[in-house]
Amino acid sequence: MKTAAINAVVVGGLSLILSGVSLGHSVDLSQTQEITITSVALSKDKSELKNLIAEGYDIAGIDYDKGTVDVMTATKDEGVALGFFGFKVKEQKTIDTRLAPDSSYKTPDEIQSFVQNIAAAYPGLVRVESIGKTHENRDIWAVKITDNPEIRERDEPTIFFNSMHHAREVMGPEVAIDTIEYLLANYGSDAEVTRWLNETEVWVIPMLNPDGNNKVWTSNNMWRKNTRQGYGVDINRNYPYAWNTCNGSSGSTSADDYRGPSAGSEPEAQAMMNLVARIQPVFSISYHSYSELVIYPYGCDGQRTETKSVVESIGKDLAALVKKDTGTAGYRPGTAWELLYSVDGGDIDWMYNVHHVIPYVIEINASAQGFQPAYRWRSTTVEKMRPGWKMLFSRLSGSGVRGVVRDSSGRTQPQTMLRVDTMGSGVVEPINWKIKEDGTFHVVLNPGTYKLKFELAGKSVERDVTVGAERIDLDIEM
């Protein structure tokens, strides 16, 4: 969407070029039959990105290798006009938004068939459930993969993957499907996978936004939001932590990053929130595209997590393990405001702040592949993601402390507060938070020496622990 400010400049000098563009008010990209993506050069300070955001342009992605940012406009002329405003235009492509994606990508119906088929094929390892209904009454499917999937095993930490907050990002569900299929196909034969499923509970949402994706297949392949009242809400600007606080979203219903009428208003965000509250994951990956980035919280300019020494170092490890489309080096790690722009109401900020999840966004594929790569990119892309998510499984049994808090009669004590203070090296910031709803705690730490203090109703229990490369399991009686 373009703002009046830049259009006013355009009217002065370039009205011929821009004939046909509705000047002086915003252009709703969802109503156009074409979208042009214009790559403009990015200087080292990324000032172009800030200026484009300030002027209300939609950014499709960024390419740090090429040094370009991709700007979406309703017409080619608007893209060309960027050159007159001082941006250096490198290349342009125009997308006919009426064309369906490559038919090998999954529709909402195909996702539903997929989850039902694997539940039938692996009854001892899979449980499938609908975690909510969309505005158009579609089910949002979640898949649980573990030994004994029908019960919650308290000694098993949870890891969570979700795809497709944004409807046009069709590679995300493929990564989710590959993760599910890889784990199930290798259980019992691959020792590592077998151990992971025996010792971990895995949850996957392959397609969070089936309404939006249906629209991608039927009328607009560049649709991003859900479909609330036709205009839609950007689900990943709708989460209630720091909602609408740092110009990291839009209040305009026509904007691609419209944050919704109120914090947490959308059924897809609610489904995510209810699931996360229930399963309390240790790690999470939300798959998006594109730009070849690993993003960690927080999203607002200048803000970092309280436990950034853990969150950011694991994020950097994750980024280094995921190879680019070119096959070289790793993805680029950082916060959204370091790599792109401020984001508010995103899922990772909410997961970290409210449930102490260590959450990442991975923006898969390079700008050359864009939102909808030719399907031949599918196998190389999903394979490149495997070392990343595998590392998180390994990290669950790595440096950290895990256990259950119970009273003398064995009842779990989920109201317990846990404070972790560093004694010497390790995590510099003290951790002070409530243990999980199921009475467990799982604190991922850097190696070091720590003082753990459990507090409940005036009682406290202290433990000094030296954490090495392996997780320490520690049950506490209050």
Report the Cα 283 to chain-centroid distance in Å.
12
Residues lying near Zn ion in the complex (CB under 5 A): 166, 288
Query: Measured from the CB of residue 294, what is the shortest distance to Zn ion in angstroms?
Result: 14
Query: Measured from the CB of residue 209, what is the shortest distance to Zn ion in angstroms?
Result: 10
**Residue of minimal Cβ distance to Zn ion:** 288
7 versus 381: smaller Cβ distance to Zn ion: 381
166 versus 355: smaller Cβ distance to Zn ion: 166
What type of residue sits at position 374? Answer: A
> Is 431 in contact with 418 (CB distance < 8 Å)?
yes
365 versus 413: smaller Cβ distance to Zn ion: 365
225 versus 442: smaller Cβ distance to Zn ion: 225
> What would the DSSP string read from start to end of 362-393?
EEES-TTT-SS--TTHHHHHHHHHHHHHHHHH
> Quick count: other Cβ atoms within 10 Å of Cβ 227?
21
List of residues 6+ apart from 440 with CB closer than 8 A: 154, 280, 402, 403, 404, 405, 412
> Quick count: other Cβ atoms within 10 Å of Cβ 413?
18
Dihedral (CA of 14, 18, 20, 22) sign = negative
Query: Measured from the CB of residue 363, what is the shortest distance to Zn ion in angstroms?
Result: 7
178 versus 347: smaller Cβ distance to Zn ion: 347
Query: Measured from the CB of residue 236, what is the shortest distance to Zn ion in angstroms?
Result: 6
134 versus 440: smaller Cβ distance to Zn ion: 134
**What is the per-residue burial (b if ≥16 Cβ within 10 Å, else e) of 30-58?**
beeeebbbbbbebeeebebbeebbebbbb
> Is 59 in contact with 340 (CB distance < 8 Å)?
yes
Query: Measured from the CB of residue 2, what is the shortest distance to Zn ion in angstroms?
Result: 21
Peptide bond before 258: cis, by omega within 30 degrees of 0? Answer: no
Query: Measured from the CB of residue 354, what is the shortest distance to Zn ion in angstroms?
Result: 21
What type of residue sits at position 402? Answer: R
275 versus 343: smaller Cβ distance to Zn ion: 343
Query: Measured from the CB of residue 365, what is the shortest distance to Zn ion in angstroms?
Result: 11
Query: Measured from the CB of residue 166, what is the shortest distance to Zn ion in angstroms?
Result: 3
346 versus 398: smaller Cβ distance to Zn ion: 346
> What would the DSSP string read from start to end of 296-358?
ES--STT---TTHHHHHHHHHHHHHHSB-TTS-SBPEEEEHHHHT----S-HHHHHHHHH--E
